[in-house]
Structure 1
Amino acid sequence: MGLAGAVALSLFDELDVVFGPAALADALFYRHSPALRFELEGGKTYIAQFLQAVDRARTVLNVAFAGMEAVTAVLGVWGDDPPAQLWATAEAALHELGIKLPAPELSASELPTPETRVLHGEEDTQVLFAFTLSTARLPELLWGSLAADLGIFPQLRGRLWLAAPELGLLACPYDSRGMDMIGPNTARLAQLYHQFGDWLLDHDRARMAEMLSPGSKKP
């Protein structure tokens, strides 16, 4: 499957309207309020770290996206190849994970960023591919995304964002170490904050408490 016909940016437009122009930026936790940052991986071996990361991410997202049959997924990849070639590589990795996507659900947008140049080189461009994904396929997608940092296969290279615009929630499992959650749905974020308090990143607890603890001033 190529990129033919994938020219509408309605998925990206919706993310921009609901979550703002920094919806697909790096370090979402520090760019948005309210926001949560979860600690995912743990253990002494790569396998233990990976299993905990997948289990925690799945558990949090199952609660966050409860009742949703599908979410908007965005995969950001870096390189100087044409978007069609970058997608072909990503699509092959998705197929290894058991995920097959019909062409009408795909959009693409090239967004070079300062972070991209620092992390991936002056000539690299970040290309974003957006598609609608059944929530039943989230475990496979999380496996691929979180496996990449730990040398586990099959894996999916690139940054992943998962959003339910109608719920007002967007998650970014930025690597196996952690996952950010943002959005205007303060009530659901507060629920996640209290239900999974033990999994929140200690370093950023003070900021989360200020935003989401009972009695705090809501943004």
Structure 2
Amino acid sequence: MKENFSNLNLRPPLFYNWEIGIRFELGVEWNREYYYENSQYLKGVYHRALTLFNSLHSAEEEILVVIDVNDFGDRKSYLQKGRLFSPYVYEKSVLYKIEHTVTPYIFPEDNEDGKYKTHRFILKCKTSDIKYISMLKAICHQDLGIKPSIFHSIYFLNIERKTIFNVYDDRGCDLLAASPESIRYLYNQFNDWILDYDRDEIDMVFK
């Protein structure tokens, strides 16, 4: 990552931390009444998230799955690396590849006394090693009261394509790249899915 995304601050909101990227809208025509499993709203969210993911990652490509767990001193049970990944891998042997680092809280402006920390777990694997469909759905559930859900920030780094993919919740997802050309096909193919709020900034990158 340091080679392709030098000086990138890997934290939300990801789109605003790098000059080359696209912010896609996942949830369309939001309504609180749609907050139930298999609603038409959620089916649309799943469709967009999975379509974008599959367009970025082939089964045999090597990826890094990065999970950030913010530690405020009250969530120790979440710091077991196997527990984080185990529901979302096909073979448990893959879990031995997980790397764990601890850094000061990724939002230093909210950590003046230095007590908070961020635990970063990194799994290097192939796309086919992970149950990414259920993982992405769980990420989308985080604010909807639907289980299973994942509240941590998760980033998918494609080593060969030099991209970073992050679904932040049911509203949308961010895609970063080392160069515009590597994701221009997604800009063209899914242009209608781009979040209008950031469209002018995105268009400047690709036009």
Length-normalised TM-score, structure 2: 0.81
Amino acid at match of 1:46: Y
Partner of 1:62: 54
The unaligned stretches of length 5 or more in structure 2 are: none
Residue by residue over 1:160-179, the C-alpha shift from the partner in whole angstroms, topping out at 9 and shown as x without a partner, is 10011221111111222111
After superposing the two structures, state which structure 1 stretch, 42-51 or 147-156, moved more. 42-51
**Which secondary structure does the structure 2 equivalent of 1:141 belong to?**
helix
Partner of 1:24: 10
Q: Does the alignment pair 1:74 with 2:66? A: yes
2:180–2:205 contact (8 Å) kept in structure 1: no
Residue by residue over 1:166-211, the C-alpha shift from the partner in whole angstroms, topping out at 9 and shown as x without a partner, is 2111111122211111111422321111100111000000001110
Separation (CA, whole Å) in 2 of partners of 1:198 and 1:83: 40
After superposing the two structures, state which structure 1 stretch, 143-152 or 29-38, moved more. 143-152
Residue by residue over 1:96-125, the C-alpha shift from the partner in whole angstroms, topping out at 9 and shown as x without a partner, is 456546343111122324636649x97432
Separation (CA, whole Å) in 2 of partners of 1:94 and 1:113: 21
Aligned pair partner of 1:157 in 151, 161, 165: 151
**Which secondary structure does the structure 1 equivalent of 2:197 belong to?**
helix
Partner of 2:123: 131
Partner of 1:175: 169
Partner of 1:5: none
Separation (CA, whole Å) in 1 of partners of 2:175 and 2:107: 20
The unaligned stretches of length 5 or more in structure 1 are: 1-14, 214-219
Length-normalised TM-score, structure 1: 0.77
* Percent identity over paired residues: 22
Partner of 1:204: 198
Shift of 1:46: 1.7
Between structures 1 and 2, the one with greater helix share:
1
Change (3 A) 1:117 1:96: farther
The count of corresponding residues between Structure 1 and Structure 2 is 197
Residue by residue over 1:15-45, the C-alpha shift from the partner in whole angstroms, topping out at 9 and shown as x without a partner, is 2222223251222211212110001123430
After superposing the two structures, state which structure 1 stretch, 104-113 or 28-37, moved more. 104-113
